[in-house]
Amino acid sequence: FISLPQSCGGRQWIVHLQGGYWCWDDESCTEREKSQPYYVGSSTYASTMTRSEGIFSRNSTKNPDFYGYNYVYVMYCSSDQFAGDGTATINGETWQFRGKNIITGVLDHFITAYGMNKAEEILWSGCSAGGQGVLNTIDQAAEILAQNGFSGKFKGIADAGWMSQFVPITSNIPMGSQLAEGYNLWNGSLTQCVASNPGFEYLCYLSQFGSSHLKTPTLFQCEQYDVFQTGYNCCNPPFTTDNFDYLDMMRSAYQQAFQVLGEENGVFSAACYWHCSTEDDTFTTIQINHGGENLSLQQVLGNFYHKEENRGPTHVVDYCEGYQCSGGCPPSPTAIKN
């Protein structure tokens, strides 16, 4: 999917990676093929699609920094966080996990057909598994662009792409164990980080490890009550008192991790029960009171992307007290601490 602005454009781009979880073994991939075939191949894709909210808004008030950019929306059919480069046999069928190759192909196309290598500004973006994809591919993308003569501004936003390791109280296996299987199944390709973690390569899919090896400045958006990680590790609302004890532990872990995130990167972390914000109106409506000023992801991303202009803070984490305590949190199912 590509959307070009009506006026000028061509020198500014957003490349956004679609989310949609992943599969990591025979059972999960077989179920994925049955229930979500659009994530394991492109044959079911519609010929057109529309994106008009969040960073895709053409409204200069809602999206002042990026409303005039060219938008590229990369569909997710590789089930590997855009980081695989291998084949596997699952129930007698050959599966291709080629996320890394998809990224190369997308860039080759837009460099050749649209001159993306001559751009002035590019934002590398993604939501959920696509946010993980940003972590996994942004340095690869930067290298490909540079090899083709790109010399402009290139930064990323990993939306709901901060994946952490917790001990689940659900029946799910720990995320690290799942990703260890995935790394082997996909023939994961995360060169810089993997070289520093021999024998524990899967750790590179966990953001607190992978982010420390990034060469390209990246902003992470992570809700402290992230819908996916809350449900995977603990529970879904309505929450019990014991549930909240666990969720408070998760929230504290996020806050501590963001305190040591490198200054060259950025973070926006509100205390909402939500997931992605780049694709909907929470891009502007969820807000954090930071030093007496209410800031949205839209504002903090602008500060981060144009950091040389010294607009304002780029590390914004909400330490408010209570569930859903940030400004503008979308309504969630009843959740009362009993």
Tens-digit pLDDT profile for residues 53-83 = 999 999 999 999 999 999 999 999 999 999 9
Could you tell me the pLDDT band of residue 299, with boundaries at 50, 70 and 90?
Answer: very high
Q: Which residues pair with 288 in a beta bridge?
A: 295
Task: Name the pTM for this structure.
Answer: 0.95
Q: What pLDDT does residue 336 have?
A: 59
**Is it the case that residue 306 has pLDDT exceeding 90?**
yes
Mean pLDDT of 130-146: 97
Q: Quick one: CA dihedral 247, 251, 252, 256, positive or negative?
A: positive
pLDDT in tens, 5-45: 765 557 999 999 999 999 999 999 999 999 999 999 888 88
pLDDT band for 335, please (50, 70, 90 cuts): low
Q: With beta carbons less than 8 A apart as the criterion, state whether 70 and 3 touch.
A: yes
Rounded distance, CA 18 to CA 116, Å?
20
Which of residues 144 and 334 earns the better pLDDT score?
144
List % helix, strand, coil for the chain (3-state, nearest 5). Answer: 35, 15, 45
Residue 333 has pLDDT above 80, yes or no: no
Specify the pLDDT at position 94.
94
- Statement: residue 297 has pLDDT above 90: yes
What pLDDT sits at residue 170?
97
CA angle, 311 then 153 then 157, to 5°: 70
Q: What is the CATH number of domain 2-317?
A: 3.40.50
| The pLDDT value given to residue 332 | 85
pLDDT of residue 6: 61
Question: If you average pLDDT over residues 251-259, what whole number do you get?
Answer: 97
**Predicted pLDDT at 5:** 79
